[in-house]
Chain A
Amino acid sequence: MTLHDMNGVREKESSVVLSARNIAKSFGNIHALKGVNFDVHRGEVTTLFGENGAGKSTLMKILSGVIQPSSGEIVLEGRPVTFHSSSEARDLGISIIHQELSLAPNMNVRDNIFMGREIMGPGGVDYAEEEKQTRALMRELEEDIDPLTLVEDLRLGQQQLVEIARALSVNARILIMDEPTSALSASEVEVLFKVVHDLKSRGVSIVYISHHLEEALQITDHAVVLRDGVMTASAPRSEINLEWIVRNMVGENFDLGSPPEGHRIGEVALSIRDLTVPDTARKGRNVVDGVSLDVRAGEIVCIYGLMGAGRTEMLECVAGRLANASGMVSLLGHDVSSLSIAERIEEGLVLVPEDRQRDGLVQTMTVGKNLSLASIGAFTRNSIISRRRERSLVERAIKNVTIKTSGGEAEIGSLSGGNQQKVVIGKMLATNPKVVLLDEPSRGIDIGAKAEVFRLLAEGARRGLAVIYSTSEVGECLSIAHRIVVMRRGRISAEFSSDVSKEEIMAASGEAVNAI
């Protein structure tokens, strides 16, 4: 650190409580963060904006000690610090509230708040003292939650407050909130914001991440924008507006192609009518609520929506993974609603799932066996596999989707993320489908691989394939799609042709309007 930097640190000491200097983080050969500087201001809300995969969560995990940076340093109150675990960070006053809550639903509020830090009395755990402190915390948050209620009996918003109470109980000076409002109702969001204001007035510094831009603008004091692992802009609230954020978030896009033209758009290949999927977590609500959509052969349709808009559920229901409450799915004119996944694949309707590690790949099998898994019937006679025909199918698939691998015998783990994704796509395309559904096909792969995946889809469409892909990155809507369908809260909220602007799409998704 040079003398100049030291002075800089001292100057800011009053307002900056925590800062990240030149933080870089790589996973294998993928660079999630490429030298990010990030300041957290004392007693204020600093919001981190960025698209999926921009590196927001990675940065927050580094600041809270969950993972360690590859290089760079973290400066707390003017002193460089390193944490080796989240508990070390917590001891220094940095707490994180993850997107997925980390409470034990089978235990009560009191036990959750003191989990791992039980107050010991002479006769074991001092439950009375814990309960007293829990009540005091709840009073501070002005929330009437009984310390003995089971967490699973609380509404999601209340559970979030329990998480906040737990963070406060360890005397957090810096509180990181990762998408805290994504599952909250409007009134719960209001309560949360009031709590945030109270926390600020008590000198707690808050780092806030949200996809609901305008909502975040309501409470933020500073904005920082990340894009592709680099900080692209930062400014105090008074100098920015919505347009500034969107511009810095999206940036000048890498060319992901344009809608393929000149081929014949055929008959309706996939027709969805009034599809409704009930929410398993909340009774009486639907995650997909009366969606109707037609896709023609040779057409590419993009489904845009925020997290929780129902995109994944809709695609999984169409593919036969989730049962629908009502509605109909028909393929080339005949009803496939009652068919199993295997039968739908046979009919030519396939899904490339969102999470390729969890749903797409069999890690214990080779690249070739993964590629041929969905089309075993094509090279099996009398239930005996023909290795020769399997090999030719695998070689064809590797060539068609341009997988960079040493061959069909290579292990899945030896491929890069982009090539793994191509294996999942190649596996489904090898079944010679008529309709292919892709749930976030570009998630977690680099920009070059993204472009290749889109090129593949465009090629498929030219040959008469009906393509539906979902995305949460607005830039990807405006690439190869002929039509853009926006989903919001389980419904289709808008439909655009390919000449729409990014702002219009975001507005229809609820991202840029006052949420809820």
Chain B
Amino acid sequence: MSDTTTAANQARAGIKSADFDIVKLLLEGRAFFALIAIIITFSMLSPVYFSVNNFLIMSSHVAIFGLLALGMLLVILTGGIDLSVGSTLALAGVVAGFLMQGVSLEMFGVILYPPVWVVVILTCAVGAFVGLINGVLVAFFKVPAFVATLGLLYVARGVALLMTNGLTYNNLGGRPELGNTGFEWLGFNRLLGVPIGVVVLVAVAVLCSLLLNRSALGRWIYSTGGNERAAELSGVPVKRVKVTVYVLSGICSAIAGLVLSSQLTSAGPTAGTTYELTAIAAVVIGGAALTGGRGTVRGTLLGAFVIGFLSDGLVIIGVSSYWQTVFTGAVIVLAVLLNSIQYRGRRRAAAATSSPQTGKASE
């Protein structure tokens, strides 16, 4: 913990010297140092913590939060929030489970067993649809993001429960004669020793990073969150941008749902409860501002790893799950605290030049 505070102090000093690159480095460095501190601490406390295999197992846990957090990052960058990601994850898992059981079309008297790639596409479409509803509510009907996505949190969870009557699909393996095997590949299997879930996370992270840094949409996302009015007057299609980020967040949740149900080899309607909060925490620990406009893929990934490695470490050294909750909460509060200290410092630096206008504008 002491490492993180020093990092923040250095970051603040960096702002004063107005050296942007160093500030940026230290800003993200904060989460990085926290991660190093966590790894060192737990490695000393437990002999099994520091091993490649354990890191890979922990990373496959992180993959779920990481996927949700990347979608959440896109939404938070525009100044919104998506509380429905945990429920969407569960709904996506249940939809995938449902499709794997076969869809009976009574009209034709046949049962269709879609291959796994079709299941993946349809599941992602369900996630996108949930995101679309969120986005349209927020962008076009001006429903506050918190309320709109809170509503979808309940609706998506409810639909998932309705679809299974509260039960869990356990048979996701498919059958070779039906040509729908391979679902376990998504999360359960490994590619060159790396869990597929982690590979998926890395791929999505690279795509998100390209989107944010190299595409026009990325620039639009940052400007919408930074100053929506200015973005609109500069010709940014603000509404379309908002709908897009919620759709992307829905897709990320669906992917996380697929990976999770593959990891667990079962799809339950209660999966992912309160995961939305973990995802928000990861984004915030990663240095993003909840007010929008600030945040990076790298930081968010670090945030997800901090949370994942911390909670798994606490499990490994045998701390009770009640204490885990307390620790996780403390880390989140600390991260937000450092964020606000940092942005306050930056605002103060900016205030020297920006306040005269506000002072005069009121004349």
A-B complex is real: yes
Question: Interface digits, A326-361 against B, CB 8 Å rule (1 contact, 0 not)?
Answer: 000000000000001110011000010101111111
Most buried by B among A53, A359, A373: A373
B199 to chain A, nearest CB (A): 24
Neighbour of A56 across the interface among B216, B232, B234, B363, CB < 8 A? B363
In the assembled complex, A312 has its CB within 8 A of some CB on chain B:
no
With the chains together, A385 CA to B210 CA distance in Å? 10
Neighbour of B360 across the interface among A345, A373, A443, CB < 8 A? A443
CB-nearest residue of chain B to A321 = B233
User: Are B215 and A385 within 8 A (Cβ)?
Assistant: yes
User: Are A27 and B363 within 8 A (Cβ)?
Assistant: no
Name the interface residues of B320-351: CB closer than 8 Å to any CB of A. 346, 349-351
User: Are B229 and A359 within 8 A (Cβ)?
Assistant: yes
CB-CB under 8 A from A342, the residues of chain B are 235-237
User: Are A420 and B358 within 8 A (Cβ)?
Assistant: no
In the assembled complex, A376 has its CB within 8 A of some CB on chain B:
yes
CB-CB under 8 A from B360, the residues of chain A are 32, 52-53, 57-58, 443-444
Neighbour of B350 across the interface among A355, A356, A359, A413, CB < 8 A? A413
In the assembled complex, B225 has its CB within 8 A of some CB on chain A:
yes
In the assembled complex, A417 has its CB within 8 A of some CB on chain B:
yes
In the assembled complex, B47 has its CB within 8 A of some CB on chain A:
no
In the assembled complex, B315 has its CB within 8 A of some CB on chain A:
no
CB-nearest residue of chain B to A53 = B360
In the assembled complex, A99 has its CB within 8 A of some CB on chain B:
yes
CB-CB under 8 A from B353, the residues of chain A are 28, 413-417, 420
CB-CB under 8 A from B294, the residues of chain A are 364
A contact residues, total (Cβ < 8 Å): 61
With the chains together, A28 CA to B348 CA distance in Å? 11
Neighbour of A357 across the interface among B214, B220, B358, CB < 8 A? B358
Given contacts A56-B363, A359-B229, A369-B219, contact A374 B354 (CB under 8 A): no
CB-nearest residue of chain B to A377 = B216
Given contacts A363-B227, A364-B225, A385-B219, contact A357 B357 (CB under 8 A): yes
In the assembled complex, B355 has its CB within 8 A of some CB on chain A:
yes
In the assembled complex, A494 has its CB within 8 A of some CB on chain B:
no
CB-CB under 8 A from B354, the residues of chain A are 357, 363, 413, 417, 420
A362 to chain B, nearest CB (A): 4
In the assembled complex, A507 has its CB within 8 A of some CB on chain B:
no
User: Are B18 and A414 within 8 A (Cβ)?
Assistant: yes
CB-CB under 8 A from B357, the residues of chain A are 356-357, 417, 420, 443-444
CB-nearest residue of chain A to B231 = A362
CB-CB under 8 A from B362, the residues of chain A are 57, 99
CB-CB under 8 A from B235, the residues of chain A are 341-342, 345-346, 374, 431
User: Are A361 and B227 within 8 A (Cβ)?
Assistant: yes
Question: Interface digits, A416-453 against B, CB 8 Å rule (1 contact, 0 not)?
Answer: 11001000000110010000000000011000000000
- Interface pairs (15), CB distance under 8 Å: A28-B353, A58-B360, A346-B235, A351-B233, A355-B361, A361-B230, A362-B230, A364-B289, A376-B220, A384-B214, A384-B215, A385-B216, A413-B351, A420-B357, A444-B360
